[in-house]
Amino acid sequence: MSAWEQMRESATLMCKSTVDETVYSGCFAAKGDLTYLQWLLHSWGWTLVVALVALVIALVLGLVIGVMRTLPNKAAVLFGEAWTEFFRNIPILIQLLIWYHIVPEIVSPLKAVSPVVLALTLIGFSGECSRLARSGSITVGDPRTAT
């Protein structure tokens, strides 16, 4: 089988219906049916949505935690340090397993949240964002003491 025939076969597979053996000429099925290409594009879209939602939540959470680490309140600093070190020092695979399987079983309201968004938000993203927020705040310094 030549390379050209293999490419044609792959293209035919992408245009095939996921339900039956129908091959669509434009690779996009009518309403109610999906081709493998549509499945792939749908999956890519959801991957981007989940990643962006997790990124936004992690940025906000990380910024709040990072600012807490620069406050004069010792309890806030301790909480911020514990949060950052906890999420930065546990291996990602272990955190994925914990956030995906264990935490939703223990905390019932978290079952409504997508475990993937929850895991991606808390797996170091918020810890890393808090570290960056604190570093930036320290670098800029206290505006009250600026000359």
pLDDT at 123: 65
Residues 28 and 94 in one domain: no
Q: Which of 25, 57, 59, 47 is nearest to 128 (CA)?
A: 59
Domain count, the chain: 2
Cα 19 to Cα 71: distance, rounded to the nearest angstrom: 58
CA 34 → CA 37, 39, 44, 47, distances in Å? Answer: 8, 7, 15, 18
Q: Which residue has the higher pLDDT, 86 or 117?
A: 86
CB 65 within 8 A of CB 125: no
pLDDT above 70 (res 117): yes
Query: In whole numbers, what is the pLDDT of the chain averaged over residues?
Result: 82
Is position 41 within any domain?
no
From 27-31, 61-65, 119-123, the region with the lowest mean pLDDT: 119-123
Whether residues 21 and 87 share a domain: the answer is: no
pLDDT bucket at 146, cuts 50 / 70 / 90: low
Neighbours of 127 (CB within 10 A): 24
Q: To the nearest 5 percent, what fractions of the chain are helix, strand and coil?
A: 75, 5, 25
* Residue 140 pLDDT exceeds 60: yes
40 belongs to a structural domain:
no
pLDDT beyond 70 at 147: no
Q: Looking at the domain assignment, is residue 42 inside a domain?
A: no
pLDDT confidence of residue 76: 92
Are 123 and 87 spatial neighbours (Cβ–Cβ below 8 Å)?
yes
Q: Is the dihedral of CA 17, 22, 26, 29 positive or negative?
A: negative
pLDDT at residue 144 is higher than 70? no
Q: Are 59 and 87 found together in one domain?
A: yes
CB 59 within 8 A of CB 129: yes
pLDDT, tens only, 56-101: 888 888 888 888 888 899 999 999 889 888 877 888 788 878 877 8
44 pLDDT exceeds 90? yes
Domain that holds residue 22: 1-34
- Tell me how many degrees the CA angle 45-50-55 measures, rounded to the nearest 5: 125
